[in-house]
Amino acid sequence: MFTYQKLEAPSFESELCPEKKGDICQKSIRVRKSSLLTWTLAIIILGVVFVLIEVILWALKISHGLDSRDETFRQTEINLSGQTHEQNPLDKCSSVLDDRRFDCYPERDVVVTRELCENRGCCFLEVSRGRGIPWCFYPPDFPSYTLEEVNQTSLGLRGLLRRKVKAYYVRDIERLQLSVNFETNTRLHIKLTDASSPRYEVPFDVPQVTKKAEKPIYGVDLVEEPFGVVVRRIDSGAILLNTTVAPLIFADQFLQISTTLPSKFLYGLGEHRSSFLHSLDWKTLTFWACDVPPVENCNLYGAHPFYLMLEDGGSAHGVFLLNSNAMEVAVQPAPALTWRTIGGILDFYIFLGPSPAAVIQQYQEVIGFPTMPPFWGLGFHLCRWGYGTSNDTWQVVKDMRREEIPQDAQWNDIDYMVGYRDFTFDPERFDTLPQMVDDLHRHGQHYIPILDPGISSTQPPGSYWPYDEGLIRGIFINTSQDKLLIGEVWPGHTVYPDFTNPETHQWWFENLNRFYNQVPFDGLWIDMNEPSNFKDGSLDGCSSGDFDNPPYVPAVLGESLFTKTVCASAKQNISVHYNVHNLYGLMEAKATASALIKLRKKRPFVISRSTFPSQGRYSGHWLGDNRSQWKDMYWSIPGMLNFNLFGIPLIGADICGFSGPTTEELCTRWMQLGAFYPFARNHNMEKEKAQDPTVFSPKVRAAMKDVLLTRYSLLPFLYTLFHRAHLFGETVVRPLFFEFPEDVETYSVDRQFLWGRSLLVTPVLDAGIDSVTGYFPEGMWYDYYTGSELPSSGENLTLAAPLDQINVHIRAGAVIPTQRPGTTSWVSSGNPLRLIAALSQQGEAWGDLFWDDGESVDTFEREDYSYLIFNVSENTFSSRVVHANKEATCITVETLSVLGVKSKPSKVTVDGKEAPFFYLENQVLMVEHLNLNLSVAFSIYWK
């Protein structure tokens, strides 16, 4: 499990322990007390060996004209004490291969010269080929930390590191404390911090472990000098982390650690707009919450320093850096990765899986499992900025009802407020808002308004309670001079609530309560919470100190920490904004969800723009201010997949696009895709043409209605997936490789996705086509609409895709619970069920169903729910009631469809009684008019 080494680090090509017995590295040298004679003999022998090697190399150079030594020989130059032999500087630098250069001068605001580079003690070699390859990089012997002592603890190990040579960043820390905790058999926790002084740590409630893992599936090796950690998978020997490849740097405002990667299949690291599978071609990903419409190569609304990596053979592991400071991750094709952050500590969790799904579950055991949304929250939502009046908003709802198009929630953007001020509604333009909300409730629908954190500060004293009361309680963010920080957002000059202050949560609740008494909303949309600021920093600028102008600034938008947000030096309750900026959206979501539970005594529904790990416990997320373009529709799929990795399954993008004009074709295709977003909302901005389904031609309107009815028919299945996410940390939407990790062809697929393990969605993402090509892993797939078979050997298949159709397929071996759709989730939830069983080659299938009242808090925890398991085996479909409550007694199973029945049965029996049935030419068996109560077990047999 653990070895403490005074050895050279493993090379990129070699494994640390090619021979193992159990979890002990047979070729590692354990530190132990040795006599002086033993060490003397060892040094003499090693000296002779090195002399021989030099002679051989010299001979090879003469005979073959070699200009540089082979990488294998370079690795042997590190002796047992961790020191290196003198080497010609040019040889030392040129021996480092291009893709293994670790950047010694990542600053972007200077032109790196040879003089600047060598002043840091680094190599400077120009490269004429390949963009991104650093010219200034670390030599193999660059000074790093030395592990001076290590001791066993009840959870693992504790060590002391010392830097003997100062690093080039100011206030570098000489002594570090290392802790390595074997928390579970699949979770390793490694922490590096200042050994002498406390530092800021993320205020998270992480699992508290009291006992060391007994049978971990990982091994850990510590290299003494230069210090490094090597983590390997015991069964395969794969090296998952190797931090010896570049020096560890730990200064007050610059922390850097690098590692090799076992493959090039890297995912996660959000929030960014990119393909789902990251390119490792010298990319830098930045983590600093920012209000910016989604574009490539830019830090966006949230920060999620977590990655998932697939290894050769399909095993997976994940790494989470629990740090909320400004950060960047640089990747390179070695493959390798470098973490850089400018504050806090290095606090890593490593998850060993070994399946991709297990990695995400293990990650959520640390950050928390997502909340269970209300059933209505999974319906269709409609919004736009620019309705103008409450009557105009209301008319859209009425138009949707007239066309019998499903809709569960109506939203309003900021135009409903008085002067864009929170907790107000315009008494003239939105005078009928309370009546509209009452009408929505009478029709089983819901209302969600927007709220921004910026509180208007320009009103006369005594005229705006949120500001006046906030001043009295002292809950706003202050400048570094202890004055109120004034920024500018939609209402003009604003102040910012400090959600790290518990008193702010109470103030937030009281404001919501006052507004709720006027407009009884059902959920909340929290926007602009990076926090956004139209002025950089504040009206008075920011300080000249190190928080606002740190020695190193990651690759953030605007090259400043206070671009489009508040000053990093601003003071908050638990720390300076420099440390907690990335937590702002999370803290606001936490306060909002808590307030909603108090107000409504029901499950909260919150959608937040800015997010951080554990956000899924309190809110969902939408992907921000996208554009009405085909490429933006595609980008929504990698975004949706990533947020499921991040433990925020309630995710979607603005259907049809937020800004710019849409078209009938684009909006139709996007409504088809959006019907399979976990959070499905159509939303666009002011001064653009309306894009709700009722404004389009009858043909397009019918296509949109049909796909929404498909979504509503699948709500029992989707709701069950959210239950499994809430209970077990499973993903709702997932990439194909989660289910087929040994199929390398699935690793880059991000134009398709799965609902759960068994529903494959293949949308059209390009203009002017009536077919779509998708990858189908090996096995049998069934058309969701017709039940027809689609066999695949693991190949790309081209399917017909007319404008009114999206391709959806069921994986063989699944049982999908569906329901006769209604125009609201409330109507649908009372309708009979149709169960679809898609038989495997062995004639088997499995599925489950979670059912409750759809809105009460903690129904599972209070055992007020129903849970059923469906099985098909030996020509028998059976239901087993694992747990039941009164809600299930109101629901009946009306129809069973069995796909893949090879021949027409001679008879069908339901609980032993013969029943009529239909058998279709495409091998679909249908049994209708069952009228079986969901709360009672039943069996259906065909002969």
Active site residues: 527, 530
Residue 639 domain-assigned? no
Q: How do residues 413-425 score in pLDDT, each as one tens digit?
A: 999 999 999 999 9
Q: Are residues 97 and 199 in the same domain?
A: no
Task: Round to whole Å and give the CA distance between 913 and 890.
Answer: 23
Q: Are residues 193 and 126 in the same domain?
A: no
Mean pLDDT of 765-776: 98
Q: Are residues 114 and 198 in the same domain?
A: no
Last residue of a domain, one of 332, 367, 402: 367
pTM of the model: 0.92
Last residue of a domain, one of 548, 569, 602: 602
Residue 710 domain-assigned? no
Residue 322 domain-assigned? yes
Q: Are residues 132 and 222 in the same domain?
A: no
Please give the mean pLDDT across all residues of the chain.
92
Q: The domain that contains 125 carries what CATH number?
A: 4.10.110.10
Q: Are residues 318 and 190 in the same domain?
A: yes
Residue 893 domain-assigned? no
Task: Round to whole Å and give the CA distance between 896 and 459.
Answer: 63
Token output for 501: 């202050």
Q: Are residues 175 and 324 in the same domain?
A: yes
Domain of 571, in residue numbers: 453-515+527-602
pLDDT of res. 73 = 22
Mean pLDDT of 508-535: 98
Phi, psi values for residue 681, rounded to 5°: -140, 130
Residue 305 domain-assigned? yes
pLDDT of res. 87 = 52
Q: Are residues 208 and 132 in the same domain?
A: no
Tell me the chain's radius of gyration from C-alpha atoms: 30
pLDDT of res. 445 = 98
Q: Are residues 569 and 496 in the same domain?
A: yes
Q: How do residues 414-461 score in pLDDT, each as one tens digit?
A: 999 999 999 999 999 999 999 999 999 999 999 999 999 999 999 999
Comparing 119-133, 183-197, 359-373, the range with the smallest average pLDDT is 119-133
Mean pLDDT of 544-553: 97
Q: Are residues 112 and 205 in the same domain?
A: no
Q: The domain that contains 560 carries what CATH number?
A: 3.20.20.80
Please name which of 359, 339, 336, 353 lies closest in space to residue 256, comparing C-alpha atoms: 339
Please name which of 660, 664, 608 lies closest in space to residue 629, comparing C-alpha atoms: 660
Domain total in the chain: 3
Task: Round to whole Å and give the CA distance between 518 and 541.
Answer: 38
Mean pLDDT of 884-901: 94
Last residue of a domain, one of 319, 347, 367: 367
Comparing 46-55, 401-410, 644-653, 810-819, the range with the smallest average pLDDT is 46-55
The full length of the chain comes to 943
CB of 444 closer than 8 Å to CB of 827: yes
Q: Are residues 130 and 184 in the same domain?
A: no
- DSSP per position, 767-800: TT-SEEEEEE-SEEEEETTT--EEEESSEEEEEE
Hey, what amino acid is at 432?
A: T
As a dihedral over the C-alpha atoms of residue 709, residue 710, residue 713, residue 715, rounded to 10 degrees, the angle is -100
Mean pLDDT of 548-574: 97
Confidence of residue 857 (pLDDT cuts 50, 70, 90): very high
Token output for 129: 């080929």
pLDDT of res. 4 = 52
Residue 259 domain-assigned? yes
Confidence of residue 770 (pLDDT cuts 50, 70, 90): very high
Q: Are residues 94 and 211 in the same domain?
A: no
Q: The domain that contains 344 carries what CATH number?
A: 2.60.40.1760
Task: Round to whole Å and give the CA distance between 56 and 68.
Answer: 13
- Give me the half-sphere count of Cα atoms (radius 13 Å) on the Cβ side of residue 823: 13
Q: Are residues 205 and 160 in the same domain?
A: yes
| Helix, strand, coil percentages for the chain (3-state, nearest 5) | 25, 30, 45
Phi, psi values for residue 723, rounded to 5°: -60, -45
Q: How do residues 308-326 score in pLDDT, each as one tens digit?
A: 999 999 999 999 999 999 9
Residue 464 domain-assigned? yes
pLDDT of res. 89 = 65
Q: How do residues 582-629 score in pLDDT, each as one tens digit?
A: 999 999 999 999 999 999 999 999 999 999 999 999 999 999 999 999
pLDDT of res. 91 = 84
Is the torsion defined by CA of 112, 118, 120, 121 positive or negative?
A: positive
Residue 629 domain-assigned? no
